[in-house]
């Protein structure tokens, strides 16, 4: 999958020299970047690269909110971001094997996600969140297609299926949490009773 290219891929031993190259490659030539992406040698490079992309917005935020805020936000964002990305990679590896016949490993997909995280570095405001999230998903899709050699439609399918499943789980969790609160259950029952009375009274 790797090949000759002028892109300097991330090396944790030369982080300051290679992270900028990775950032601009993801933004300006993602197809080329993924076509020549070397096979991962463990998780270290991918973890550090993604951590850098995630930390930059927190550092920018600390300029306006103070260093204390950054001290709190950075560990939480790294834990949540890296953890959820690993789970996303586990799902995509499983789905790609079962639905596309691909042999991509979790390690390879995590690397794709790490390079696709470049837009996070410019997510400095709340209004950028939607655009950056969409941009990130498009880059992951391109990685599955051009590095993983998965068909465009199949790559889109497994990603959308995962997003839909996540949305369903969140909806169920919110519903269960809502119904777990006695006051909410009582209010819901009163609403149902009111609607029933209105409907029967209108006949």
Alpha-carbon gap, residue 160 to 81, rounded angstroms: 19
pLDDT single digits (tens) 91-119: 999 999 999 999 999 999 999 999 999 99
Domain segments of the chain: what residues? 12-151
Please say whether the beta carbons of 29 and 7 come within 8 A. Answer: yes
When pLDDT is cut at 50, 70 and 90, the band that residue 131 belongs to is: confident
Neighbours of 14 (CB within 10 A): 11
- Exposure letters 35-62 (e unless 16+ CB within 10 A, then b): bbbeebeebebbbbbbbbbbbbbbebbb
When pLDDT is cut at 50, 70 and 90, the band that residue 182 belongs to is: low
| Terminal C-alpha separation, the chain | 70
Alpha helices in the chain (DSSP H): 15-28, 30-35, 44-65, 67-99, 106-116, 129-146, 152-180, 182-201
pLDDT value for 15: 84
Write the DSSP symbol of residue 117. T
Alpha-carbon gap, residue 11 to 60, rounded angstroms: 24
When pLDDT is cut at 50, 70 and 90, the band that residue 1 belongs to is: very low
pLDDT value for 72: 74
pLDDT value for 113: 96
Please say whether the beta carbons of 122 and 128 come within 8 A. Answer: yes
When pLDDT is cut at 50, 70 and 90, the band that residue 30 belongs to is: very high
Alpha-carbon gap, residue 108 to 67, rounded angstroms: 35
Alpha-carbon gap, residue 123 to 58, rounded angstroms: 9
Angle at 125 between CA 123 and CA 127, to 5 degrees: 100
Residue 155 has pLDDT above 50, yes or no: yes
Question: Considering the chain, what is the average pLDDT of its residues?
Answer: 84
């Amino acid at each position: 999958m790797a090949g000759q290219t002028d892109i300097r891929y991330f090396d944790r031993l030369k982080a300051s020299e290679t992270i900028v190259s990775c950032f601009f490659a993801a933004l300006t030539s993602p197809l080329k970047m993924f076509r020549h992406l070397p096979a991962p040698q463990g998780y270290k490079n991918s973890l550090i690269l993604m951590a850098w992309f995630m930390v930059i917005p927190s550092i920018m935020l600390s300029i306006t909110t103070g260093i204390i805020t950054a001290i709190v936000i950075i560990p939480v964002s790294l834990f949540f971001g890296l953890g959820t990305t690993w789970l996303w990679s586990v799902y995509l590896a499983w789905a790609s094997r079962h639905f596309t016949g691909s042999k991509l490993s979790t390690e390879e997909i995590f690397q794709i996600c790490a390079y696709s995280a470049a837009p996070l570095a410019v997510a400095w405001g709340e209004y950028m969140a939607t655009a950056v999230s969409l941009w990130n998903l498009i880059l992951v899709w391109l990685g599955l297609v051009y590095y993983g050699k998965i068909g465009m439609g199949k790559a889109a399918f497994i990603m959308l299926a995962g997003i839909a499943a996540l949305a369903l789980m969140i909806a169920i969790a919110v519903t269960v949490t809502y119904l777990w609160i006695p006051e909410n259950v009582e209010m819901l029952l009163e609403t149902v009773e009111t609607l029933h009375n209105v409907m029967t009274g209108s006949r």
